[in-house]
Structure 1
Amino acid sequence: MASKLLMATIFILDLIAFSLAVAAEQRRSTATIKQDNEKDYNYCVYDSDIATGFGVGAFLFLMASQAIIMLASKCFCCGNPLKPGGSRACAVLLFIICWVFFLIAEACLLAGSVRNAYHTKYRTIFGGEDPPSCETVRKGVFAAGAAFVFFTAIVSEFYYVSFSNAKASFEPYGGEAAVGMAVYK
């Protein structure tokens, strides 16, 4: 039987990670082009950088959630063998899917946080034809991270339940390894 305390802990960590990723998408940096007082050059002015902190927080909470679920299941490959059957097959499939979603979510959150923290220092001289390139994180990067955090949360919960069901009643064969023979008369 799956531990309800562990599942509640994982759910709370994933919920916090999802909320932080959504907040990061809402508060990502934007930039405006300003002119200096002497009107010699243009430069970029960025608003608050709080989305970087939200993205890093979501990254860390999701990582903690994944670490706890993998420690509880002994990363699927260590520990006692699992009972053959549908629960084991489902656990293997969900284990792989869980890691794929986790890696995509972490990549989106990390890339979005790094890109959001980068503020260009580029300036253009007055009379220059091109305005400065005020680069910011693309819209939807943190939202994609939030979506994959959500998928990871669902799949990891199902993975742990399937793993627990496959582990619950399996007892390895403890009998004789040789073939039993009847008495010949």
Structure 2
Amino acid sequence: MGGAAEEAEKRRQRLGSIVTDSSNTTFCVYDSDIATGYGVGAFLFLLSGHSLLMGVTRCMCFGAPLAPGGSRAWSIIYFASSWITFAIAEACLIAGATKNAYHTKYRDMVYAGNWTCQSLRKGVFIAGAVFVVFTMILNVYFYMYYSKATSQAAKRISKTTPSVGMTGYA
């Protein structure tokens, strides 16, 4: 996932060339480029990986209850953090792919005499790759603490002795 985003950054459209056609119209032309495909691929891989994890854990909404304690608290923290970094990574990847596709597939009219053709801002795909890596790390920790909290809950439910000692007072 992160590798595709890094490759998209390497191959992003850097600069278009200014061309004048037969009707004396000046416009920017960008070469076809594979960065858009890499960006969309990274987006889809991250989406499918995150969806798989949320399906396995049932998004913490359905299934066995979590045992109270440290594992439950950490799994909730990593769950929330994972969603935040996931949203940022997806936004960077789709924005970079969209902007790059616009530059490689469409022409911009140039009306000024001294004009440079726009290019995709450097670092958009790298930011996406960094957040993809953060998301993957947080997902691993989330799953680790989630599975620990669910296994502790299963042990506590099967306990038959009372946890609070009762004494008789007359």
Query: Do both share a fold (TM > 0.5)?
Result: yes
Closer/same/farther in 2, CA of residues 41 and 183 from structure 1, 3 Å limit? closer
> Alpha-carbon deviation of 1:135?
2.4
2:67 — aligned with what?
A: 83
Of 30, 46, 50 in structure 1, the residue corresponding to residue 30 of structure 2 is 46
Which residues in structure 2 correspond to 1:1-185 (within 5 Å)?
A: 17-36=1-20, 40-119=24-103, 120-124=106-110, 128-131=112-115, 134-170=117-153, 171-172=156-157, 182=168
Deviation beyond 6 Å, 4+ runs, structure 1? 173-176
Structure 1 distance, partners of 2:56, 2:29, is: 47
Structure 1 distance, partners of 2:48, 2:141, is: 18
Q: Percent identity, aligned pairs only?
A: 41
Structure 1 distance, partners of 2:127, 2:97, is: 13
- Cα RMSD between the aligned structures? 2.4
Q: Check conservation: 1:31, 1:136, Cα contact below 8 A.
A: yes
> Alpha-carbon deviation of 1:37?
6.5
Closer/same/farther in 2, CA of residues 124 and 85 from structure 1, 3 Å limit? closer
Structure 1 distance, partners of 2:84, 2:18, is: 43
More deviation in 77-86 or 105-114? Answer: 77-86
Report the AA paired with residue 80 of structure 1: A
The unaligned stretches of length 5 or more in structure 2 are none
Closer/same/farther in 2, CA of residues 76 and 37 from structure 1, 3 Å limit? closer
Structure 2 distance, partners of 1:35, 1:68, is: 47
